[in-house]
Amino acid sequence: MEYWIRVIDIFSKAVGHAFAWCVLVLTASTCFEVFMRYVLNSPTVWAFDMSYMLYGALFIMSGAYALSRGSHVRGDFIYRKWTPRTQAKVDLVLYLIFFFPAVFAMVFTGARYSFEATRILESSVNSPAGVPVWPLKLLIFVAGLTLLIAGIAEVMRCLLCLRNGRWPPRSGDVEELEVVLAQQHATETQK
């Protein structure tokens, strides 16, 4: 199971990192629009559509990455006081009752919705540029699949924790600044 957890985490990381580039493109296109609108007094017709499509893609496709890193928001004022086995039991039940039904609904409904949009090559009716929106709608289905795969890894983590009494380690590639500073401070005070 640990092998498959690592494989799924690597996949989730790759997807998350690939869509993180949307931030750079979103920033550049927004700066370009601001320059065109306020300096040259010639706004673009595509900037609004581009911004919501890129932000939507970034938001929806980062879910599996955040799940694999344990980064989703959790009200853990009680949870953190439990033993790892109790945490795993509760997590497992919640994944089976809430997470998987919601993700299956996202996959199946998203498939119907996005495949129809792709079939007709749907474009925005609210945009003077007629920007195609079918790629963003197709991501609903793809995001559901990535969440489903990441959820399977989380269930395997729960099962390993139930068996071993401790959570398997998560791979990390990005740390919050406060965590890094706290680690540096702890290292300096030990010297």
Q: What is the mean pLDDT of the chain?
A: 90
The pLDDT of residue 190 is 82
Burial environment of residue 24 by CB neighbours within 10 A (0 to 12, 13 to 18, 19 or more): exposed
Q: Is residue 24 part of a domain?
A: yes
Q: Is residue 125 part of a domain?
A: yes
Model confidence over 78-92: pLDDT tens digits?
888 899 999 999 999
Model confidence over 26-81: pLDDT tens digits?
999 999 999 999 999 998 888 888 888 899 999 999 999 999 988 877 777 888 88
Q: Is residue 185 part of a domain?
A: no
Q: What are phi and psi of 22, to 5 degrees?
A: -60, -30
The pLDDT of residue 1 is 87
**CA distance readout (Å), 68 to 58, 113, 139, 164, 186:** 16, 27, 19, 20, 27
Q: Is residue 176 part of a domain?
A: no
**CA distance readout (Å), 103 to 75, 98, 106, 138, 157:** 21, 9, 5, 15, 18
- State both tokens at 43: 């706004």
Burial environment of residue 161 by CB neighbours within 10 A (0 to 12, 13 to 18, 19 or more): buried
Q: What are the b/e assignments for 124-160, b being 16+ CB within 10 Å?
A: beeeeeebbbbebbbbbbbbbebbbbbbebbbbbbeb
Q: Is residue 177 part of a domain?
A: no
Q: 130 with 121: CB under 8 angstroms? A: no
pTM score over 0.85: no
Q: Is residue 162 part of a domain?
A: yes
Q: Is residue 149 part of a domain?
A: yes
For residue 147, the enclosing domain spans 2-72+80-169
Checking if the pLDDT of 177 tops 90, the result is: no
Contacts (Cβ under 8 Å, ≥6 apart) of 4: 153, 156
What is the number of structural domains in the chain?
A: 1
**3 state SS of 119:** helix
